[in-house]
Amino acid sequence: MSNVSHIKGNVLNSSNLQRIVIHSCNCRGSWGGGIAYQLAQRYPKAEQVYRNICEKYNDRLLGKCLLIPSFESENLIICCLFTSTYGGSVHDQQSSILENTLLALDRLRNIIYRKPNFLEDNVDKKLDILMRNLDENLSNYNLEMPKINSGIFGVPWEKTEQLLGEYSTGEHPLHFDVFSL
């Protein structure tokens, strides 16, 4: 059975469910296009947290993830997967984006299941401190996303979907609801 469900609709439509909306982003502090732009418009306080983190750590964020409260709904957390140094037309190469997606998703799983072994460096430790105020039961949250990496970053969706499949087994499997319009 697949750990990826495809849903027709907008991932940002409001819901009463506890959910983590996952998106891939750059390390330069720009939510300037695609789903990131929509997040910036709806959740400006969350965008400011993202910008501050990028200003401080830049490239050192590659392969990491950051969970940010939406500041609008206690049921919504925004997950930034840092998959490319830059956005727009100067994004990283496809292989690098996929490798960083895998690293960031590993970190997300460790965060959800409170496994401290992902704290590899000072950046991880600082991000962990920022995320300590989040709900203790993140494993109860739905993991929702658009077809990450396939928009501005230009990675064929099938390649990212294949990576998601790697999280279908093991001690802590993850299930992803993928939205498309």
Each residue of 66-78: pLDDT tens digit? 999 999 988 999 9
Amino acid found at 170: G
Q: Higher model confidence: residue 47 or residue 89?
A: 47
Domains of the chain: 14-140 (3.40.220)
Q: Model confidence at 86, in pLDDT bands (50, 70, 90)?
A: confident
Q: Please say if the pLDDT value at position 117 is more than 70.
A: no
Q: Please report the pLDDT score of residue 118 as a whole number.
A: 58
Q: Name the least confident of 69-78, 127-136, 146-155.
A: 127-136
Handedness of CA 16, 19, 23, 26 (dihedral sign): positive
Q: Which residue has the tokens 């997967």?
A: 81
According to the 3-state scheme, what is the secondary structure of the chain? CCCEEEEECCCCCCCCCCEEEEEEEECCCCCCCHHHHHHHHHCHHHHHHHHHHHHHHHHHHCCCEEEEECCCCCCEEEEEEEEECCCHHHCCCHHHHHHHHHHHHHHHHHHHCCCHHHCCCHHHHHHHHHHCCCCCCHHHCEEEECCCCCCCCCCCHHHHHHHHHCCCCCCCCCCEEEEEC
Q: What is the pLDDT of residue 30?
A: 85
Least confident window among 51-55, 65-69, 113-117, 138-142: 113-117
Q: What is the pLDDT of residue 104?
A: 96
More confident residue, 116 or 71: 71
* Confidence at residue 58, expressed as pLDDT on a 0 to 100 scale: 92
